[in-house]
Structure 1
Amino acid sequence: MWRIPFFTFLLAIFMSPAHAQGGAWQACHGVASPAGPVLGDCRPIADVVDPQGREIWIRSIVQAPADTRPRVLYVAGVASSEAWLNGKRLGANGRPGSAAQEEIPGRYQAIFPIREVIWRDGENVLVLRLSSFHGGLRFARPMSAVAVLPYPYPPRIAPLAITFLAAGTLLAAAFGFGVIHAMRRTGTSLILAAMASVATLQAIVESLRTLFDYSYPLHAWRMSAIWVLAAIFAVLLVRYVSTRFLPGRRGVITGFSLGLVGATALLPGFDVKTIWALILGVALAALPAAAGAWRRLPGARPTLAYLTLFLALALGLPEWFTDLSYFLLAAGLVLPLLMVEVVRLGRDDRGREAALTRAASQPDRLTVASARGVELVPIAEILAVVGADDYVELRLAGGRSLLHAARLDGLASQLPAGFQRIHRSVIANLSRVQRLERDGDRWRLHLSEGVSLPVSRSRLPALREALEAPSVAVAA
């Protein structure tokens, strides 16, 4: 696997830069000949080496190595390449050309071994011919590196091992949340399964450059996939936190996050797009978490603290964050949530059993497990029950409301006959109905107080029949 080293580490530690002796690459007019490239009219390159949409010849001066270790030329970028050292051809990566039809795309990373006899004492002339007609999207810095490196490389498997460990952990979490969703049909478990799956996919896509020697035209697709997956993770994170702690505003918050995170597509550079997609998602998710902490909802404060840490690392160490810590933090977020979900589901089951036992002895009251503790609510005071994922909101007389750790389907069987399901997420107390009226192509049910409730078309006939019963008076 000598063609797939950890080049980022090597460039930082062992690089003998190709821009030694003054540091500048020169762009030249050049032609290939049996004796080597013939260059003329060479001029310094002021900015970056950019072969996109053209063929270029570049040269630089490198110093002969001070030791006897073998050297290789490492070229990474969105281009086909051909290299010479002191007029001796080192090799080709694909085939550069002056037009798309003449070019054969090379790999994104290429290594050219340098024979010891090619080196001269002192200065050596390195020449490259580059072209990039098949790159797809245009990059601000198409060439990642051109460097002379010692070989063999020291083993550096730790970063890849950590990434794979995080990916395996996230995959296991995705499976766990999927099982929970299959058992309980809770929306939060489905969102968390999607979050873990997306983070797993991004870890795999991030590792492709190290694992596979892919053709350079695929690099644009890989970078696009990294940004898309980061953006999806950010929006799912916002959706999850708003569903848990601010369910009444989750649609607005999720829609806003879609627009704001999607706007990062307009930023220059894929690393910048990815970093800001994650930062914006975490920042927006912190808002409903803060609202939940202020209302003292269970789990809100730890979630807010974790998101704050997430955001601090993203702002303080953006490159480290996108390369590695994102996967570790994602795993650190979803794994505790998985354990919390399992514990909470067990606790909820026990709480529901106890509530049913107490309710059997007091049929006129509903035992509600809320953030304030356990409360016995007179059923006659309940105006409506509105579903909020694995919680329900009890709307009570006098403008009060309570969050109850129960599901709408379970409450529908516990409430007396005067309550009826009028929408997939709403149960109404028919004894509190004032009128049923049409609102455009929809129907709304008005109670004695509070906001009107939506009525689904499929449940409208049953509701009309119930309201026409002698025991219910309603002005239609």
Structure 2
Amino acid sequence: MKNLQVIMIVWLALLVGGNKPLTAQEFAHINIGAVMVCEPEQALSTPPSFTEGECTTMNGRLVSPHKREVWFRTTVNITPAMVESTHPLGLFISAKASSRAWINGQLIGSNGTPAFSEADEIPGRMDAVFPIPTGLLKAGENAVTIHMSGHHGYLDLVSPIHFIGITAYSDPSDAILRDYMPSLLPLGILVLGALYFGVLAIRRREYGARLLVPLTALFSAGQLIAEVSRGLTPYTYPFHDIRLVLILAFAIATGASLFLHVLARFAPKPRAAIAGVSLLVYAAVLFLVDGFDPKSSMALFVPSLFAMLIAAYAATRGVKHAGGYAVALFLFCSLIIFAPTRFLDTYFYYCVAGLLMFLFAGEIRDHQRERRLRAREQARADKLQVILDESRERESPSNIKITSAGKVEFIATSDIAFCKGAGDYVELAVKGRAPVLHSQSLSEMEAELPGTFLRVHRSYLVNTTFIRALEREASGAQLILTTGETVPVSRRILPSVRKALG
């Protein structure tokens, strides 16, 4: 028998007085203090005799069915209220093994087929329940015999047996899924954040620190989906190893993405050296820590701690927003330290969602600031372009070919004050002469005119060299031209006109 530690997590809530219906929270715990364990040398079809010569008495926490067949016998104490309850009872076994169970010498069911060899074993469900026939249990101690094997498992876990107990009969997946239901809210936040900020970073071709934030959210969502899969589908126990590997892999990817994001934003140079040393320490910690839950916790704690230190150092140097990052990461690390065992089950996804919402808020703030900067730069560029166009028009005035009533003539664009759309025609206000009707649409006209002409209304193009003032009235805005004429300005276009004239 290998000296492997196996923890049987048992929840016990005893009924006090009265013949009450049994609830899902009322458990009869399996006695694991001292169990009789047999590891037969050949296949058995019935339970062994559990004599001292064939078996050993040992702490139930040292029992492991990984790559072997084991039989063990123990007792369970049943209260009179449980015996008298009309609610059906069940023996629940959550373990990385196939199993078969007897109570008081009577077989009550099989979960897969436990066997002496891998070829004969049929993998059972990770979370199984055996209905207990009415009248089989008695008040006081009851003998429980369990036959297990885990030949098809891949990983030798510290705790392959998660839970054994008797309570009200129900589908184990239902109870597991109820525990995971609150995680749907952070899952929505993680998925939406990953999609929105991922698309935003890709559209802007920002593949550095900005893309690492949605990647952190995406990996966290993947970890949550892998976690919740236990309640979504009643998988057989070999898949549990795959699920644990996926959870750990997503945790590593989440922690690494978070660290690299903070590194890219706040770390001093040489960043490659800092990243290399940090990742070596990270890998060493993960290698030394035993158990998948501790590894997953460390996969998040270590890079978050390093990221916090980088942000704190940047804050002391006066780097903008570094202090906020340091505080948020400090709170995140503190939750892992003070609740290391419950962190992954209870707090993790809400904590990660909260941390990422902080990062999302920073991304939105930076995005809005960059949009304002780009808008100001574009406004300056547009204004400069107008000045250049006006300069070119003064030095070398352009002409436009006008067709009206079968007559063709060329008019200098510098003499056109504005153009007014009139269906399939355009009315040109020309300096020093009567309006000219041109057989062309306003959009076609706009494409031919130089950059000194500005669209201020869906029906008007104005030559900016003729603009004297912009006036606001109760009915709207209008441009006052040097010719004394006025041109309306669309409310929708008014901000653009102001920028162009500013």
Q: TM-score, normalised by structure 2?
A: 0.65
Distance 1:257 1:273 in 2: 17
Kindly provide the amino acid, as one letter, of the partner of residue 119 in structure 2. Answer: Q
Structure 1: gaps spanning 5 or more residues: 1-6, 363-476
Distance 1:288 1:312 in 2: 17
Match of 2:64 in 1: 50
Q: Report deviation, 1:9.
A: 9.6
Q: Which of residues 264, 280, 297 in structure 2 aligns to 1:259?
A: 280
Distance 1:29 1:161 in 2: 40
What pairs up with 1:270-419 in 2 under 5 angstroms?
270-354=292-376
Match of 1:163 in 2: 183
Paired residues of 2:10 and 2:30 also in contact (CA < 8 A): no
Distance 2:310 2:147 in 1: 54
Matched, 1:113 2:131: yes
Cα-Cα RMSD: 2.8
Distance 2:276 2:184 in 1: 33
Match of 1:403 in 2: none
Distance 2:293 2:326 in 1: 26
Paired residues of 1:181 and 1:189 also in contact (CA < 8 A): yes
Q: 1:182 to 1:325 in 2, by over 3 A?
A: same
Paired residues of 1:242 and 1:249 also in contact (CA < 8 A): no
Distance 1:214 1:156 in 2: 13
Match of 1:175 in 2: 195
Q: What fraction of aligned residue pairs are identical, expressed as a percent?
A: 32
Distance 1:274 1:258 in 2: 16
Match of 1:63 in 2: 77
Structure 2: gaps spanning 5 or more residues: 1-7, 14-24, 385-502
Q: Which of residues 117, 135, 155 in structure 1 aligns to 2:153?
A: 135
Kindly provide the amino acid, as one letter, of the partner of residue 29 in structure 2. Answer: P
Paired residues of 2:131 and 2:169 also in contact (CA < 8 A): no
Paired residues of 1:75 and 1:109 also in contact (CA < 8 A): yes
Distance 1:307 1:338 in 2: 14
Paired residues of 2:72 and 2:146 also in contact (CA < 8 A): yes
SS of 1:319's equivalent in the other structure is coil
Q: Report deviation, 1:289.
A: 0.6
Matched, 1:40 2:60: no
SS of 2:249's equivalent in the other structure is helix
Q: Which of residues 235, 243, 248 in structure 2 aligns to 1:222?
A: 243
Kindly provide the amino acid, as one letter, of the partner of residue 81 in structure 1. Answer: S
Q: Report deviation, 1:157.
A: 6.4
Distance 2:304 2:327 in 1: 12
Distance 2:193 2:319 in 1: 24
Could you list the per-position Cα deviations for residues 140-196 of structure 1 after superposition, in whole angstroms to 9, with x for gaps in the alignment?
221112111233599786642221111111000001111211232222221111101
SS of 2:342's equivalent in the other structure is helix
Paired residues of 1:238 and 1:257 also in contact (CA < 8 A): no
SS of 1:170's equivalent in the other structure is helix
Distance 1:15 1:122 in 2: 14
Match of 2:407 in 1: none
Could you list the per-position Cα deviations for residues 331-376 of structure 1 after superposition, in whole angstroms to 9, with x for gaps in the alignment?
11222322332232222232344467779999xxxxxxxxxxxxxx
Could you list the per-position Cα deviations for residues 385-428 of structure 1 after superposition, in whole angstroms to 9, with x for gaps in the alignment?
xxxxxxxxxxxxxxxxxxxxxxxxxxxxxxxxxxxxxxxxxxxx
Match of 1:423 in 2: none
Q: Which of residues 165, 187, 205 in structure 2 aligns to 1:185?
A: 205
Paired residues of 2:95 and 2:126 also in contact (CA < 8 A): yes
Could you list the per-position Cα deviations for residues 186-219 of structure 1 after superposition, in whole angstroms to 9, with x for gaps in the alignment?
2222111110100000011111222221111111
Q: Which of residues 27, 31, 38 in structure 1 aligns to 2:37?
A: 27
Paired residues of 1:55 and 1:131 also in contact (CA < 8 A): yes
Q: Which of residues 60, 85, 94 in structure 2 aligns to 1:76?
A: 94
Distance 1:163 1:322 in 2: 11
Distance 1:8 1:350 in 2: 57
Q: Which of residues 116, 123, 147 in structure 1 aligns to 2:141?
A: 123
Kindly provide the amino acid, as one letter, of the partner of residue 219 in structure 2. Answer: V
Q: Which of residues 105, 109, 117 in structure 2 aligns to 1:91?
A: 109
Q: TM-score, normalised by structure 1?
A: 0.68
Q: Report deviation, 1:15.
A: 2.8
Q: Report deviation, 1:298.
A: 2.2
Match of 2:166 in 1: 148
Q: 1:88 to 1:306 in 2, by over 3 A?
A: same
Q: Report deviation, 1:48.
A: 2.0
Distance 1:329 1:29 in 2: 44
What pairs up with 1:416-455 in 2 under 5 angstroms?
none
